[in-house]
Amino acid sequence: MSPSLSRNEILTTFTIFGAGVAIIANTFQGDGNPIIASLAFSGVAFSSTYCLIRWLGGAFMKAGFKGKDMSKLRKVEIPETMGAVCAVVYLLVIIVFIPFPFYKDIVAATSGGGNRDFVLEAQQVETGRFLHRFPHNKLAAYLSAILSLQSVVILGLGDDLFDIRWRHKVLIPAFASIPILIVYFVDFGVTQIVIPTPLRPYLGELFNLGWLYYAYMAAFAIFCPNSINILAGINGIEVTQSIVIASLILVNDLLYLAPFTPHPHPAEDAHLFSIYLLLPFLGVSLALWCHNWYPAKVFVGDTYCYFAGMVFAVDGILGHFSKTLWLLFIPQVFNFIYSAPQLFGLVPCPRHRLPHFNARTGLMEASVASFERPLRRPIQEAMKLLHKLSLLDVKTNKEGVVVECSNFTLINLWLVWFGPMREDRLAMGLVAMQIACGVAGLFVRHRLALLIFTADNL
């Protein structure tokens, strides 16, 4: 990858950057719509990340952040951990963005009810007479999101540097979620779940989960980053799945802000908050995508997977739609459950489960785990059953003992179903399936849910 940008790249990125800065500067003049500012910040984030990835690739390789692309004929080393560039640009952008959503509130709190003609004595302002009008809770939510994200980015960097064992790192996102959980507790505190109509005669209308609801949210924060990291291993898949999830959440947010939704909607602020977090995320991810899509010129690293997952966890928890988010994570949930036998050691798990590149055909095939010692009988029987159901590819020896099976990942299963294919076609197939699942998920959430719940909160 050449560090210098082509003429076209310079023209495009600098134009986007310039336009972004101009729009941001302009929002200072009038009343400034924070969504427009957020869009402009995302443009700035996109162009900065795009250029920085190109410029910094060499420095990352020198520092040891590099990896071999195992699915290419020439296994050259390329920069890894480029998600760190995304994460840093993203964090800086959302930090600089802090005053924008609060601009009106700052004016209201410091100059007398938003009336700028009404001049106050300096002393009155300093004693904070109007500060009770400022939405400290919203600011706390925003700041706690930054804190949680930063903690997870540190974990991701640690993992890229030292390859931390997953049993050691699995709980860290739960600790990182404490700031947002505290804000949730103080600010919202709802720990009840609405019971579907058919179950109401037994459980009532609402069921209070109490502290279990916080445990659920912490588990959600563990799930999101890890689930993206294990649905990985072919060019572009980590970033593309994150872009798809972010776009689907954005669609869900827009449903709450659309003109046909009753206005003002109680969930409006939560969804605006979600948009402010997601737009710059899309900016940095699209820039990474340009370099990571097949044939990849850089790898995203665990930093990106953890960072992306945590953006979704924070968004879902503070936006109060974590249950809806599960519907946008269907392939990841499937992959997690499907991976469980290898993750929990029932079946040996090789260090890498990414598909196998057949150098002769140039196509990807399902990678396999082979067993020198026979597995326990019930496990072998379960694997043979999965084979019969076309959910696994199993090889047995003459005695009928399982000696080999395809690795338990959705990517390998896709290859078992549809046969060997080129790496980019594999990624496109998986992404198309993810989009279909996500759209179906949103449909279920907003249309079919009415069959078992009395109201959609739209």
With CB atoms as reference, the residue minimizing the distance to ligand UD1 is 67
* Helix residue ranges, H only, 299-345: 301-318, 322-328, 330-343
Indicate which of Mg ion, ligand UD1, none lies near residue 71 (CB less than 5 to 8 Å, by partner kind): ligand UD1
x-or-dash pattern for Mg ion, window 275-314, by CB under 5 A?
A: ---------------------------x------------
The alpha carbon of residue 123 and the mean position of all alpha carbons in its chain are separated, in whole angstroms, by 46
Indicate which of ligand UD1, Mg ion, none lies near residue 222 (CB less than 5 to 8 Å, by partner kind): none
Is residue 409 a contact point for Mg ion (CB under 5 A)?
no
Indicate which of ligand UD1, Mg ion, none lies near residue 316 (CB less than 5 to 8 Å, by partner kind): none
- Find the shortest distance in angstroms from Cβ 152 to ligand UD1: 14
Indicate which of Mg ion, ligand UD1, none lies near residue 80 (CB less than 5 to 8 Å, by partner kind): ligand UD1
Q: What is the CA radius of gyration of the chain?
A: 24
Is residue 339 a contact point for Mg ion (CB under 5 A)?
no
Which is closer to ligand UD1, CB of 39 or CB of 364?
Answer: 364
Q: How far apart are CA 174 and CA 220, in angstroms?
A: 8
Residue appearing with tokens 């290419």: 72
Indicate which of ligand UD1, Mg ion, none lies near residue 235 (CB less than 5 to 8 Å, by partner kind): ligand UD1
Q: How far apart are CA 345 and CA 340, in angstroms?
A: 8
Q: How far apart are CA 217 and CA 325, in angstroms?
A: 12
Indicate which of ligand UD1, Mg ion, none lies near residue 161 (CB less than 5 to 8 Å, by partner kind): none
- Output the six-digit token pair for 400: 């009928």
Q: Which of 75, 90, 82, 46 is nearest to 61 (CA)?
A: 82
Q: How far apart are CA 453 and CA 312, in angstroms?
A: 25
- The pairing of strands 368-370 and 402-406 is antiparallel
The answer to whether 417 and 243 are in contact (CB under 8 A) is no
Which is closer to ligand UD1, CB of 78 or CB of 277?
Answer: 78
Give the number of other CB atoms < 10 A from CB of residue 175.
15
First to last CA, the chain: 47
Classify residue 88 as exposed, middle or buried by CB count within 10 Å of its CB (0-12, 13-18, 19+): middle
Residue appearing with tokens 């020896």: 397
Indicate which of ligand UD1, Mg ion, none lies near residue 155 (CB less than 5 to 8 Å, by partner kind): none
Which is closer to Mg ion, CB of 164 or CB of 458?
Answer: 164
- Find the shortest distance in angstroms from Cβ 427 to ligand UD1: 9
By CB under 5 A, the residues from 178 to 207 that bind Mg ion are none
By CB under 5 A, the residues from 228 to 267 that bind Mg ion are 229
Binding site for ligand UD1 (CB under 6 A): 67-71, 80, 229-230, 232-235, 296, 299, 302, 352-354
- Find the shortest distance in angstroms from Cβ 27 to ligand UD1: 39
- Find the shortest distance in angstroms from Cβ 235 to ligand UD1: 4
Residues that bind Mg ion (CB under 5 A): 229, 302
